[in-house]
Amino acid sequence: SFLAMRTQLLAALVGLQMGNEHGAFTSAEKVAVSADGSASKHPSGAFRSRHSCVDELPDCLSLTRANLTGCAEQPFLLKACPKTCNICAYRALVDEATKCDDEHEMCATWAKAGECEANPTYMLQSCSTSCDSCEAKQNGCARNVTTPALLPPDEMDAMFERSLTLSEYEPTALSTSPWVVQFENILTPEEAERFYDACETFDRSLAGDALSPVRTSTQCWCGEGPCLQSPIVQTVTDRILNITRVPFNNAEYFQILNYDPGQFYKVHHDQQSGPWTPQGVRLYTFFLYLSDVEEGGGTRFTELGITVTPKIGRGILWPSVLGSDLTTSDKRTNHEALPVKRGTKRAANLWQHLYDFKTPSRSGLCAFLGKNSNHD
């Protein structure tokens, strides 16, 4: 079984890391593991340094294919087969997601005080030894194998074509290659105000997963709790997902934005999620305007020569990946938020993934969520 194969692979890797005194292989021996999970050793040289980007098992291609999207469904393969899984640039992130230790000297004290249960988002990640969450953390980035991909390649066009039939939203195709579709009347002015007010705490916006001078707006994440449970947020979520036909769990939480005069977000791309993560790539962006803007603040698609003017209730939908290859970013949808000159711009992003995003997010165990894991 694949579980047996996983156990044997892990045993081989542990032996490699711990050395000969623990019954592992000598420096002149190398583990050979076949696709069916059988293991042997042969004198073909020692494993290379763990810091170089090479596969540490000889049959990585077979292993990752043995379970289809094996790199995402069995995250231990990310460490054993980094080259085949195409995560060479993200090994530090993989190490962070799978390491087992206490990152703070107070972890044991906090655990005894019940913080593992009271504050699991922080504790299970950062105090995994004291919270006994090492195995859960290492499995927390595994893709749910019972959740299929949202759509196969070459079916993206059908979603956009269908969206153009939703006359209540006055759809307009600003571009068809790539798709950029504009909608009106996603919400009323009164709904826009309630939607914005549902999110309470605004902080400096991040560019990817870090503060950057390329982005100067403020943001509020409408996460689990009162914001996500707000009736207006649920209503707007339903309207958008009825357009894209994306399951609720495949969507991220709304990122609600505020741009004051002079604030902007320079040219960027929204596809920041590696194909090997549990949620997979960001398929679509639905960008929703929550206010009019007196001057400036448009959304400009730099490769397409298209600028969308902010208007309350207006939405824009575009893909982040190629319809013919869902693992490849579509750089034609590079865009920027132009500086607000007069007035205030309020808006919201709803990013939507190929696989379930919310389930691994709720667990608080996967470091791949909330991190930039795609730089192509």
Average pLDDT over residues 44-72: 67
d(CA 20, CA 71): 28
pLDDT in tens, 83-116: 888 898 888 888 888 888 999 999 999 999 999 9
Residue spans of alpha helices (H) in the chain: 2-18, 60-66, 70-73, 76-80, 91-98, 107-112, 115-118, 120-126, 134-139, 156-163, 189-197, 226-229, 231-244, 358-363
DSSP codes joined into one string, 265-291: EEEE-S--S-TTSTT--EEEEEEEE-S
Domain boundaries, the chain: 1-96, 99-142, 156-363
Residue 279's identity, in one-letter code, is: Q
CB 301 within 8 A of CB 333: yes
- Correct CATH for 156-363 of 2.30.30.90, 3.40.50.970, 2.60.120.620, 1.10.3720.10: 2.60.120.620
d(CA 275, CA 373): 9
Neighbours of 144 (CB within 10 A): 15
**pLDDT, position 150:** 87
Region of poorest pLDDT, from 31-40, 175-184, 294-303, 320-329: 31-40
Average pLDDT over residues 309-327: 96
Region of poorest pLDDT, from 8-17, 144-153, 191-200: 8-17
**pLDDT, position 142:** 87
* Token output for 328: 């490849």
Q: Which residue in 255, 225, 223 sits closest to 358, CA to CA?
A: 223
pLDDT over 90 at 176, yes or no: yes
- Dmax of the chain from CA atoms? 72
